[in-house]
Chains A and B, each alone.
Chain A
C-alpha cells in the first residue's frame, strides 16, 4: 500500500484524518493521489515522496510504488 500523510488544512479532504492508504494499482503517480482524494492542486504547497521533494515542478507526474510514503503539505501562506 501507499501511505499518504496529510498536513494542515489538507486533512479536511479525508475527514480530518492525518493518514490514509491507497492501493498501488489506483495511485501510480502523485497526480493520481490528488485526483482520488479530490485535492485541488493549487492548495498543495509541497510534496515529499519518502522524504524527498518531488521533481516534477507542478505537473505532479512523479511515480509512486508500493510502500512509498507521500507527504502532502498545504501552501505556506504567511501572516
Chain B
C-alpha cells in the first residue's frame, strides 16, 4: 500500500492556455475538489458555468474548450482511459460534451495535468505542444487543411516524439462543420455535439502531449491484481467475449430481430440487406486486427482492410463501429460493408461525427426523394438511398462546405429550418442533435435517455433495457448492487422503468466524470460492480461506496441541467421526435409499439421527481442543489 500523502490516481492540477493572449498558466485544484466532482464532465462543467456568460456564440472568443480527465484516467487498470471535452455546442446551442477513450487522456495525466482549459482564439492556426512542464503554442500553418492522419504524423515529426499523443481536428473542424469531432490516435473520438468545430473556430488544429510522470495509485498491488485477473478472465463473460470478438458490430443482428434497424432515414426498421452487415460477415470480409485503449485488454476497436480497390481505405483510421454501420449503412439503404468502411474512413479523415453525418445525408436524401429539393438545390448531386457513390460525394461536400455541402454542414435540424417546405418532419433530432441508431420504441429506457439528455439524443447514458429484463441475469444482479430492485420489460412505460433509468443514468454519468468506459463494467461490461468499487478504492484510497459515487453522478446531471436552462432550454425540450409516437411500420412489431405520448410525458415528470427536480419545469429544486453541495449555483 502506498503511504505517501497527496492525491492518488490524479493530480489536482489544471493547465490553462489562452490563445488570444498566448499565455500559459498552471492552477492547483482545492483539496477535495476531485472527490466531490470526480473530474471529467463535472470538472469541465464547473468551469464552463463559472467562466462563460450565458448566450455567447459557440464560435466566439468567449467560449471555452475544456479537456478533462477523471480521477481514474490513466491508471494501470482496465477500461479507465477516458476523458471529456466540454464547450458550448454549435450544433445544439446547449451543453456540448463528449467522451473518448484511447491514449490522449492518460498522457495528459502523465504530463502532470488533470485538465486543460483553452481560452480565446489564436490569430493564425496553431497547435499546442505539452511536454511535462514545458508548454508551447506552435505554428500550425504546415498542417492546417490536412486530414487527421497526415496532420498527426507531421506534428509527431515536428515535435520529435513519435510517442506523443495527439488530439486533433480534421478539415471538417477547420471549416466549422457543426458536427465536426475531435479524435485521438485516429481511432478514438469525442464524437458528438460539434466539439471539433469549436476547436476549429479557435484556430487550434491539435494538442500534442507527452508525459514522463507515473501516476501513484493508493494500493498498487491490489490494482495490479485486479488488472491481471480481468485480463485473464474477461472473455469468459459473454459481454467481454462479444466486445473482443465483434466490437459493437453484433448490434446489427440484435436489432434485426426487432425489425428495428433504422433504414432509409428511419422510414422502416426492416432492411433487406441486413445479413450482408452481420458481425461474422464483417469479420470475414473486413477485419484484419483489433485495437484498444490504454491499459485495457478488451480491444473492442476494429482494424479493417478493404480489398475492393474502388473503396480502399487507410487502415490506420480503424474500422466502422455499430453506430457508423447503422448511420451509413441501412439508414442510407446501403448493404455493402466496403462502402461503409470507406465512408467511415472519410469521416475520420475529415473529422466528422459519423452519426450526425449519416443522419444529415439521409435527411437530405429523403427530402430529395420526396421532391422537396432537387438537383438545382444540390448542384447536380442526385441523392438516392442505396447509392454509395452519392453518399461518399456528399461527405466530401460537407467536409469542404462546398456547394450543397455548406447547408448540410449545419446538421439536419438547422438545415430543415432553412429549407422549410415541410422538411422538418423528416428530421429525427432532440435538442438539435441527430438520433443514434437505436429505436426507443423497442427499448423505452433509451427513449428516456434520448429525451432527457442535455447534449441531445445520446444512447450512452444508461445500459440499454435488455440488461434489466431478467431478475436472474448476471447484469441485473450487478444492477441490484446499485439500487435497482425490479426488472423491467423492454416496452414498459412504468415507474420501475423510470427508477431503473434514473439510478443507472447517475451511474453512467459517474463513468463520464471519473474516466470509465461503460464497456468495462457491469451491467454492460464484464467486470462485476464489487470489483469495480475495489478498483476505484485501490486507485484513490477514498474508501468510497456507490452511494457517494452515484451522488457524484447526480451532481453532474444537475450541473449540465443548470447550464442548459441558463442557455434557454426548458422541459419542453425533453421530448422525442414524433416518429417514436407512431407504430412500427414493418417487421415483427408492425402496427405496434407506438410510445404513448401522455404516458411518456408522465415518465419524464417522474424522472424529474426522482432527481428532486421540479416535476413541471424540470429544474433542480433548491433542496436538490443544497443536498449535492451545489448551493453556489442556485
A residues whose Cβ falls under 8 Å from a Cβ of B: 7-9, 11-12, 40-43, 45-46, 48, 51-53, 57-58, 71, 73-79
What is the interface size of chain B, counting residues whose CB is below 8 A from a CB of the partner?
Answer: 47
Asked if B459 is an interface residue, CB under 8 A from chain A, the answer is yes
Is B368 on the interface with A (CB-CB < 8 A)?
Answer: no
Contact of B443 among A57, A58, A76 (CB under 8 A): A76
Among residues of A, the one whose C-beta sits closest to the C-beta of B492 is A57
The contact of A45 among B238, B241, B466, B487, by CB within 8 Å, is: B466
Interface string of B569-603 (1 = CB under 8 A from A): 00000000000000000001100000000000000
In the complex, what's the smallest C-beta–C-beta distance from B88 to chain A, in angstroms?
26
- B250 at the A interface (CB under 8 A): yes
> Does B466 lie within 8 Å of A76, measured CB to CB?
yes
Report the 7 A-B pairs with minimum CB-CB distance, sorted nearest first: A42-B473, A73-B257, A75-B466, A76-B254, A8-B250, A46-B257, A9-B242
Name B residues whose Cβ lies closer than 8 Å to a Cβ of A: 238-239, 241-242, 245-246, 248, 250-251, 253-258, 260, 278-280, 321-323, 436, 438, 442-443, 446, 459-460, 463-464, 466-467, 469-470, 472-476, 487, 489, 518-519, 524, 588-589
Given contact pairs A52-B588, A77-B464, A9 touches B245 in the complex (Cβ within 8 A): yes
Contact A42 to B472, CB < 8 A, known contacts A8-B253, A73-B253, A79-B519? yes
Q: List 28 A-B contacts (CB under 8 A).
A: A7-B253, A7-B254, A8-B253, A8-B279, A9-B241, A9-B246, A41-B472, A41-B473, A42-B473, A42-B474, A42-B476, A43-B238, A43-B473, A46-B258, A48-B257, A53-B589, A57-B489, A58-B470, A74-B250, A75-B254, A75-B467, A76-B443, A77-B239, A78-B248, A78-B524, A79-B323, A79-B460, A79-B518
| Contact, CB under 8 Å: B238 / A40 | yes
A9 vs chain B, min Cβ distance (A): 4
Interface of A is mostly: mixed
B466: which of A12, A57, A77 is its contact (CB, 8 Å)? A77
Q: A42-B472, A43-B238, A52-B588 are in contact. Are A79 and B248 (CB under 8 A)?
A: yes
What residues of chain A lie closer than 8 Å to B589, measured between beta carbons?
53
Collect the chain B residues with CB atoms within 8 Å of residue A11's CB: 280
Residues of B within 8 A of A53 (CB): 588-589
A71 to B239, CA, bound (A): 20
A77 to chain B, nearest CB (A): 6
The answer to whether B241 and A46 touch across the interface, beta carbons within 8 angstroms, is no
Contact A78 B464 (CB under 8 A): yes
**Interchain nearest-CB distance for A15 vs B (Å):** 13
Chain B residues positioned under 8 Å from A74 (CB to CB): 242, 250, 253-254
Structural contact, A71 and B524, CB atoms closer than 8 A: no
If the complex has contacts A73-B254, A75-B254, A79-B322, are A58 and B487 also in contact, measured as CB distance less than 8 A? Answer: yes
Chain B residue nearest to A51 (CB atoms) is B588
Taking CB atoms, residues of chain B closer than 8 Å to A48 are: 257, 588
Q: Which of A41, A71, A73 meets B470, CB within 8 Å?
A: A41
Decide: A42 and B475 in contact? CB cutoff 8 A: yes
A43 vs B593: C-alpha distance when bound (angstroms): 22
The answer on a CB contact under 8 Å between A8 and B246 is: yes
Whole-angstrom distance between the Cβ of B523 and the nearest chain A Cβ: 10
Residue of B nearest to A41 (CB): B470
- Also in contact, A8 and B588, with CB within 8 A (given A42-B473, A58-B487, A77-B248): no
B164 to chain A, nearest CB (A): 28
Q: B443 touching A12 by the CB < 8 A rule? A: no
Contacts of B280 in A (CB 8 A): 11
B247 to chain A, nearest CB (A): 9
CA–CA, A46 and B469, complex, Å? 11
Q: Please, how many angstroms separate the alpha-carbon atoms of A41 and B242 in the complex?
A: 16
Q: Quick one: closest A residue to B438, CB to CB?
A: A78
Residue picked from A74, A76, A79, most chain B C-beta under 10 Å: A76
A7 to B279, CA, bound (A): 9
